């Protein structure tokens, strides 16, 4: 008889944690990593002041959960694109996805703040590795050249970062052109 109550509490607890993670991303987008505290995140989530500290003992736990959430969501979207039957359709879908990503610059900014935090803290790098592995998996639909695959990841990251710094981010056609140049244009050394 206690199981439904326990399951209900567990579900409610997981929902609260999810809300706190989403609130952390919003706080990072608005105030940067330095703006994250248990109190600000709980307030942003509309939860009691002690809620964030209850579910996440340290600020680093909140930041790790936020980074993991972002990177895993991005990696999953990339994996789905890699599974599209027609590689050309997948390339066009990735161009469209990149347009959607730059259309939400606050969320993108939060992701990069958290991404850069992983550069300073090796213990946070596993979620970023999953993202990079998903980009590579997508790229392998078009090439097996390891240099092109690395350039693809760097290009996506670089162009997204540039989109945060400009009033005119790339549109779908420009993204598609960028992706084609990286993945499909024959190179002088490889011929691929």
- SS3 string of the chain? CHHHHHHHHHHHHHHHHHHHHHHHHHHHHHHCHHHCCHHHHHHHHCCCCCHHHHHCCCHHHHHHHHHHHHHHHHHHHHHHHHCCCCHHHHHHHHHHHHHHHHCCHHHHHHHHHHHHHHHHCHHHHHHHHHHHHHHHHHHCCCCCCHHHHHHHHHHHHHHHHHHHCCCCCCCHHHHHHHHHHHHCCCCCCCCC
Q: What pLDDT score was predicted for residue 6?
A: 63
Q: What pLDDT score was predicted for residue 188?
A: 57
Q: What pLDDT score was predicted for residue 7?
A: 76
Q: What pLDDT score was predicted for residue 71?
A: 94
Q: What pLDDT score was predicted for residue 4?
A: 55
**CA 156 – CA 67 distance, rounded (Å):** 18
How far apart, in Å, are the Cα atoms of 11 and each of 3, 54, 124? 12, 16, 26
pTM of the entire predicted model: 0.85
CB-based contact 20:37 (threshold 8 Å):
no
Q: How many CB atoms lie within 10 A of CB 116?
A: 12
Mean pLDDT by 10 residues, the chain (192 residues): 64 94 97 96 96 95 95 95 93 96 93 92 91 96 94 96 92 96 75 48
Report which DSSP code applies to 124: G
């Amino acid at each position: 008889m206690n199981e439904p109550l326990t399951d209900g509490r567990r579900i409610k607890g997981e929902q609260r944690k999810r809300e706190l993670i989403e609130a952390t991303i919003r706080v990072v987008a608005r105030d940067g990593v330095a703006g994250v505290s248990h109190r600000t995140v709980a307030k942003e989530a509309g939860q009691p002041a002690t809620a964030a500290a209850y579910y996440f003992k340290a600020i680093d736990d909140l930041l790790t959960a936020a980074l993991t959430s972002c990177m895993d969501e991005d990696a999953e979207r990339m994996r789905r694109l890699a599974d599209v039957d027609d590689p050309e359709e997948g390339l066009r879908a990735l161009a469209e996805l990149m347009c959607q990503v730059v259309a939400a610059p606050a969320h993108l900014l939060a992701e990069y703040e958290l991404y850069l935090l992983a550069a300073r803290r090796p213990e946070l790098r596993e979620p970023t590795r999953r993202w990079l592995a998903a980009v590579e998996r997508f790229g392998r639909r078009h090439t097996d050249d390891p240099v092109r695959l690395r350039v693809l990841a760097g290009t996506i990251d670089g162009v997204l970062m540039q989109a945060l710094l400009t009033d005119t981010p790339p549109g779908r056609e420009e993204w598609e052109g960028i992706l084609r140049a990286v993945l499909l244009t024959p190179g002088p050394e490889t011929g691929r």
